[in-house]
Amino acid sequence: MVNFLKKASNNQTKKNKSHIPFRLNFLFLIVFILFAALIVQLAYLQIIFGPRFESESQSSDTRTETKNVQRGMIYDSTGKILVANNTSRAITYTKPLIVSSDKMYSIANHLIKYVDIEADNLSDSNKGDYYLADSKHEKYVKSKIKNARSIKDSSKLYKLEQAYVKKHKLGYNLTEDQKKAATLYSKMNGAYALSTVYLKTKDVTDEEMAIVGENISELPGVKIGTSWTRSYPNGTSVKSVIGTVTTEKQGLPSDSINTLLAKGYSRNDSVGSSYVESQYEDVLKGTKEIINVETQNNKIIKEVKEYGGKSGDNLELTINATFQQQVQNIIKESVESIAGSNPYSPGAYAVVMNPNTGGIYALAGVSRDVSTGKITENALGAINQTFVMGSVVKPAMVMGALKSGVITPSSNTLTDEPIKLKGTATKSSWFNKTGSANLSLTASEAIEVSSNVYMMKLAMLEGGFNYYSGAALSLPTSIFTKLRSNFKQFGLGVKTGIDIPGEAKGFEGTADQEHIGNALDLSFGNYDAYTTLQLAQYVSAVANGGYRLQPHILKSIRSTKKDGSLGAVKYEFSPNVLNVYSASSSYWNIVKQGMWDVVHGSSQYRTGSTLASISPKVAAKTGTAETFYKTNSTQTLSLISFAPYKNPQVVVALAFPNITDNDVINSQTAVKIYNAFWKTVQTSDGLE
């Protein structure tokens, strides 16, 4: 029995001993296989993908980040600041190279906890973008898109998601905080990689600055910065001429966005959007700060400022700010003074210019609402509003006739008498409607008394038609081209080239045989329409002996000194002659004598006697055109003038459309402007 038990015990021990090593061996085998698989996988990755991983781990790239600088300022001709910059603190966002919508969504929602943001009027698209930026929302919407997983084009899929959101109006009912966050998200999402956009530029408080700084680690890309807005320390009298700069909210103008983006602008950059601010954008904008951003695996590892940026250069204008305001007030007061008896007056316009350089001293104007009587500033109307100007064209008409040879300096006498053509109403001069005051007039005298008949006879002679009472008018349509070609050499009916965008060309009436009688109206200024600026360019050419100069508002481009004051001249505008009206001095003497006699002559019919009190003495031509306001008969009163007569230093051009009562408001206004000029802009000492 004992042997049996001993034998059984030995058998059990052997059995246990043989079973344990098997389990351990099996476990070791599994571990071995796993390690072997791991080694094989590591070897595979090392051999097959090793070079690629090594390249990626060592790869780096340098990108450029840019930031805005302060815009150049604008000064008047005396060094007075017209446009300056108000500096304010700002909260900005620089978009990383790669950032998910979900991350920007998180930053936007975080930031509104620290900063009071003014919510924009969000579009449905903005709301949809914000809704889909939440990964949970995007996942839900994606599940509703049929075959979404098979759509490889991400932009196509996103459009389908947006359409679904819009159809079901998901995310449309936003809380006030969500609207603020959506506003931030829209700005952040619209930025390009490494471009900086403004998130808040107004009323950034000390507390907001501090709390954003404390939590900057939670807000990657968010920074504290500086923004600039335009200010007008000496009033806004020239703002309509200088133009405006877009706000960061407005961003780039839609009509030039692609061009500006190609130049390196960001979508919400401030940019000159009109007139001088737009014309000289490249000068005023400065050079952006440049930061080289070193990246590795699309992550920013280092930022180095390569260039600190340079603020924009300054503009010095030819405008005298004080005089500009004076002329603006004079025009406004003149319109107000006649408004009661001139219900159809739509305003008035004035241009004061240097006839020897083309520099604009003042550009003024007002618009008047005929229905309400309200008067508003509209200085740009002087360059973009056209009117039939009347008799001011007569000096140019005489010059054209002299050059064509139909009259000469020694033979230019014609009779002013009512023009009676077969089948048409009688045409006459203002002082001789019945024929009771027929006069033999020289060319100078015709300008002095503003003879319409004299000009019509010149047009008929230039067209090869010999007039006699009762004759049927026979002129070729080329007479329109001939007369207009002459006028255009003075700047009438063509753009002047002023360095302010948006000027009008003028208006030409129909020039066919059916309207051939209007060629006679054209000869004395009662057919085509011109701008007030064109009148100023035209009379400047008369004053300086035939040089049609480009009118300009820029005097020079100046740098900025370290103390912020106006610096050295970098560019100065030189007089630009657009064309020369070649004529002998004897021709010019006839025209200038006629304009002198308009003011200082002895004829009872001279039209500018109101101007005789001006000192130094002026030469001028008034204009009266027959016009209409709806069915009501009106007149446009205009004026061209220069002074002093012997040494012209300044020209004044005026237009008062749709006047019904008061035929001297143009002359009365000119007297006030000249008096202001000699007191404010230039001394008249030594001038006659």
SS3 content of the chain, % helix, strand, coil (to 5): 40, 25, 35
Nearest-Å Rg of the Cα atoms of the chain is 40
Per the CB < 8 A criterion, the answer to whether 622 and 652 are in contact is no
Residue 650 lies in a domain: yes
Mean pLDDT of the chain, nearest integer: 88
Over range 77-81, report the average pLDDT. Answer: 93
Q: Which residues constitute the domain of residue 650? A: 322-680
Angle at the Cα of 342 (from 338 to 343), degrees rounded to 5?
A: 125
Residue 427: pLDDT over 70:
yes
Residue count of the chain, please give it. Answer: 688
CA distances from 589 to 100, 538, 595 (A): 78, 16, 10
Whether the model clears a pTM of 0.85, i.e. scores above it, the answer is no
Answer whether the bond into residue 51 is a cis peptide, omega within 30°.
no
Q: What would the mean pLDDT of 119-145 be, rounded to a whole number?
A: 91
b/e map 537-574, b = 16+ CB within 10 Å: bbbbbbbbebbbbbbbbbbbbbebeeeeebeeeeeebe
Instruction: Give the tens place of pLDDT for each residue, 262-293.
Output: 766 666 677 778 889 999 988 998 876 666 66
Read off the pLDDT of residues 108-122 as tens digits, 9 standing for 90 and up: 999 999 999 888 888
Q: What is the pLDDT of residue 605?
A: 95
The answer as to whether 481 is a domain residue is yes
Does a structural domain hold residue 268? no
**DSSP state, 297?**
T
Report the DSSP pairing between strands 547-549 and 414-416: unpaired
Residue 137: inside a domain, yes or no?
A: no
Does residue 272 belong to any structural domain of this protein? no
Q: Residue 329: give its domain's CATH number.
A: 3.40.710.10
431 part of a folded domain = yes
Confirm whether 7 is domain-assigned.
no
pLDDT at 5: 44
Is residue 639 within 8 A of residue 622, CB to CB? The reply is yes
Q: What are the angstrom distances between the C-alpha of 60 and each of 96, 193, 352? A: 15, 16, 61
- Judge whether residue 53 has pLDDT over 80: no
The answer for residues whose C-beta is within 8 angstroms of residue 41's C-beta and 6 or more apart is none
**What is the rounded CA–CA span in Å between residue 594 and residue 621?**
9
User: For residue 644, which of 607, 588, 684, 597 has the smallest C-alpha distance?
Assistant: 684
Domain-located, residue 553: yes
d(CA 18, CA 283) in angstroms, rounded, equals 95
Residue 111 exposed, middle or buried by CB count within 10 Å (0-12, 13-18, 19+): buried
In sequence order, which residues have a C-beta less than 8 Å from that of residue 503 and are 6 or more positions away? 383, 384, 495, 496, 531, 533
- The pLDDT tens digits for 341-372 are 999 999 999 999 999 999 999 999 999 999 99
Query: How many domains would you assign to the chain?
Result: 1
